[in-house]
């Protein structure tokens, strides 16, 4: 079972080159680099532009962990709040950075129990409808929950690597936001995939 099985669509492609006036790595999206400079200077218009460009991808990444659309949106919103308060440097891949913040926020929220009461209330409200779902739908939900539980049990870096890669980010982007050497990403991903596969199979076998 691969993580990508519950991935939805991959993140949109990114521009490969910068304007010559920007002295950043040529793999950084020039619009994001410019937005980060402007956000750091207090430009709320640039923050809004970043929100419009990246909200969908960030919420989708958070959903992998949260398992609930409303919780995922809350986590994504926290990522943009942090962007406003403490934007990263302009040579940071912005969308990948936001996804990492959002997924970590989703993990923290689940572990602290902040979302539990609201989530249980929503589940109770939809219990009657869920009871009439077909078997295939129930199996899909169970599979997604198993993937999510396996991800939650992984060390933070392994979880971040898998989520970012499943969302379509390049090794350079993953390395930058996680803080590792680009050349080490392949090895780290292989280890994370092995840990995920073993954890998934153990849970599936015990189900």
Confidence of residue 37 (pLDDT cuts 50, 70, 90): very high
Sign, Cα dihedral of 169, 175, 176, 182: negative
Residue 51 has pLDDT above 90, yes or no: yes
User: What single DSSP character describes residue 189?
Assistant: H
With a pLDDT cut of 70, the percent of the chain lying above it is 74
- The full set of domain ranges for the chain reads 19-206
Q: What is the mean pLDDT of residues 184-193?
A: 96
The pTM assigned to this predicted structure is 0.73
Question: Residues with Cβ < 8 Å from 187, sequence gap 6 or more?
Answer: none
State residue 143's pLDDT score.
83
Confidence of residue 148 (pLDDT cuts 50, 70, 90): confident
Residue 79 has pLDDT above 70, yes or no: yes
Q: Of the ranges 17-21, 29-33, 181-185, which one carries the lowest mean pLDDT score?
A: 17-21
Higher pLDDT residue, 199 or 28? Answer: 199
Question: Residues with Cβ < 8 Å from 164, sequence gap 6 or more?
Answer: 61, 96, 99, 100, 173, 174, 177, 178
């Amino acid at each position: 079972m691969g993580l990508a099985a519950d991935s939805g669509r991959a993140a949109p492609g990114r521009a490969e080159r910068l304007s010559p006036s920007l002295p950043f790595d040529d793999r950084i999206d020039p619009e994001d680099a410019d937005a980060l400079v402007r956000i750091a200077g207090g430009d709320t218009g640039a923050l809004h532009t970043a929100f419009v460009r990246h909200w969908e991808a960030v919420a989708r990444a958070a959903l992998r962990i949260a398992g609930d659309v409303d919780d995922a949106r809350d986590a994504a919103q926290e990522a943009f709040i942090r962007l406003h308060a403490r934007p990263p440097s302009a040579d940071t891949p912005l969308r990948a950075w936001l996804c990492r913040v959002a997924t970590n926020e989703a993990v923290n929220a689940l572990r602290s129990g902040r979302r539990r009461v609201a989530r249980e209330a929503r589940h109770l409200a939809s219990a009657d409808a869920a009871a009439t779902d077909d078997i295939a739908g129930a199996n899909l939900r169970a599979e997604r929950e198993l993937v999510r539980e396996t991800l939650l049990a992984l060390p933070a870096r392994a979880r971040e690597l898998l989520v970012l890669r499943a969302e379509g980010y390049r090794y350079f982007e993953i390395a930058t936001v996680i803080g590792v050497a680009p050349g080490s990403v392949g090895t780290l991903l292989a280890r994370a995939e092995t840990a995920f596969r073993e954890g998934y199979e153990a849970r599936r076998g015990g189900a």
